[in-house]
Amino acid sequence: MANVLKREKQLAVLTLLVEGNSIRSTERITGISRNAIMRLLVRFGNACREFLDLNLCNLYLEHVEIDEIWTFVRKKQRQLHGFEIIDPEIGDIYLFTAIDQKTKLLASFAIGKRNHFTTQALIRDLESRMIRQPNDSGVDRPQLSTDGWASYPSTISESFGQSVKHGILIKQYRNPESGRYAPPDLTGTERIAVQNITDVSTICTSHVERHNLTLRTFMRRFTRLSVGFSKKLSNLAAAAALQVAYYNFCWRLRRPGKSGQLTPTPAMMAGLTETLWTLEDLYDAVMRQQAEKKHAARVAKLIAKLRNRE
Confidence band for 188, pLDDT divided at 50, 70 and 90: confident
**For range 208-224, the mean pLDDT:** 92
What value does the mean pLDDT take over residues 65-84?
A: 93
pLDDT at 1: 36
Higher pLDDT among residues 99 and 223, named by residue: 99
Pick 171 or 152 by higher pLDDT: 152
Model-wide pTM > 0.85: yes
* Alpha helices by DSSP H, 104-254: 116-129, 151-160, 206-218, 233-250
Calpha distance 162→157 (Å, rounded): 7
Contacts of 110 (CB under 8 A, 6+ apart): 95, 96, 118, 119, 121, 122, 125
**Which has more pLDDT, 139 or 289?**
289
CB contact set of 182 (below 8 Å; sequence gap of 6+): none
Residue 240 in contact with residue 109, Cβ under 8 Å? yes
Are 171 and 189 within 8 A, CB to CB? yes
Domain ranges, ordered by start, for the chain: 7-269
Q: State residue 310's pLDDT score.
A: 66
pLDDT at 122: 97
Q: What angle do CA 17, 20, 23 make, to 5 degrees?
A: 50
Model confidence at 105: pLDDT above 60: yes
Q: What is the pLDDT of residues 128-162, one digit of tens each?
A: 999 865 554 555 789 999 999 999 999 999 999 99
Calpha distance 103→248 (Å, rounded): 10
Average pLDDT over residues 223-237: 90
HSE of 52, CA atoms in CB hemisphere, 13 A: 25
CA–CA dist 253, 247 (Å, integer): 9
Own/partner contacts of 82-88, CB < 8 Å, gap of 24 or more, are: 88/112, 88/113
* pLDDT, the chain, mean: 90
Q: What confidence score (pLDDT) does residue 3 get?
A: 60
* Nearest-angstrom CA–CA distance, 214 and 211: 5
Query: Residue 121's pLDDT is what?
Result: 97
Percent of the chain with pLDDT over 90: 76
Supply the pLDDT for residue 258: 58
11-15, 137-141, 256-260: lowest mean pLDDT where?
256-260
Across the range 184-201, mean pLDDT stands at 89
Return the pLDDT at 4: 79
The pLDDT confidence band at residue 97, using thresholds 50, 70 and 90, is: very high
Q: Could you read off the pLDDT of 19-51 as tens digits, one per residue?
A: 999 999 999 999 999 999 999 999 999 999 999
Where in the chain does DSSP place strands (E)? 63-73, 91-100, 106-112, 143-146, 165-174, 185-195
